[in-house]
Amino acid sequence: MIAVIVLVAVIVATLAVGTALRTRSGTLRTTGAGASAGTHELHPALATAGVGDGVPVVLHFSAPWCGPCAAVRRVVVQVLARDPGRAREVELDLDENPVLARKLGVLSLPTTFVFDGEGRERFRASGVPSVDDLRTALSSL
């Protein structure tokens, strides 16, 4: 009887964790809005990619083997096409940029970041962000 109760508890806990993770997938979360401009240090690979040159950047990590990464590309193109010049897109291959991915804490694909014009990380999403969420994030910069 105790084994059945333990098994049921494990199943319930597993379902709860899975539901919580699925609920967060694609949601843009605020990350560095309170960062002080004086203490901000831009990673050289981000600077090389054009982050921090005065224009907000939507950076997303992808890989050829990642199916949902194509959906992120479509969302980013749709958002940036509405207001050309407002922000720039940078797509980095995870397999070619493992050090930067590790530095930014990328744990899964696709992962999308929104950096302000000074190169500070302001938002991030694991999964495919919605068009509305990405527009809202960019409009706040």
Mind telling me the catalytic residues?
A: 66, 69
Residue 87 burial class via C-beta count within 10 angstroms: exposed 0-12, middle 13-18, buried 19 and up = buried
H or E element that contains 122? strand 121-126
What are the two backbone dihedrals, phi and then psi, of residue 30, each rounded to the nearest 5 degrees? -70, 135
Please check whether residue 111 is in contact with residue 124, taking contact to mean a CB–CB distance below 8 angstroms: yes
What are the two backbone dihedrals, phi and then psi, of residue 11, each rounded to the nearest 5 degrees? -65, -45
What are the two backbone dihedrals, phi and then psi, of residue 74, each rounded to the nearest 5 degrees? -65, -40
